[in-house]
Amino acid sequence: ALQVELDQCWDLLRQRRALREAGRDPGAARVRDPDIVERYEQ
């Protein structure tokens, strides 16, 4: 459970960074569903 939450936090940071670099509002980033975040790792 802790690993899933950590993965979600890293995903949120990546989203915020990507939005900022694209000139968009990093505040628009949202925590994604654990199933979605977990699939990125595989």
Q: Name the band, by pLDDT with cuts 50, 70 and 90, for residue 5.
A: very high
Dist CA 35 CA 33 (whole Å): 5
What pLDDT score does 1 carry? 82
User: Which residue is associated with the tokens 């990507």?
Assistant: 18
What pLDDT score does 26 carry? 98
Which pTM value belongs to this model?
0.83
Q: Name the band, by pLDDT with cuts 50, 70 and 90, for residue 42.
A: low
12 with 31: CB under 8 angstroms? yes
Query: Per-residue pLDDT tens for 13-41?
Result: 999 999 999 999 999 999 999 988 877 76
Q: Residue 8: enclosing H or E segment and its boundaries?
A: helix 2-21
Phi, psi angle pair for 15, to nearest 5°: -60, -45
CB-count burial class (<10 Å; 0-12, 13-18, 19+) for 11 = buried
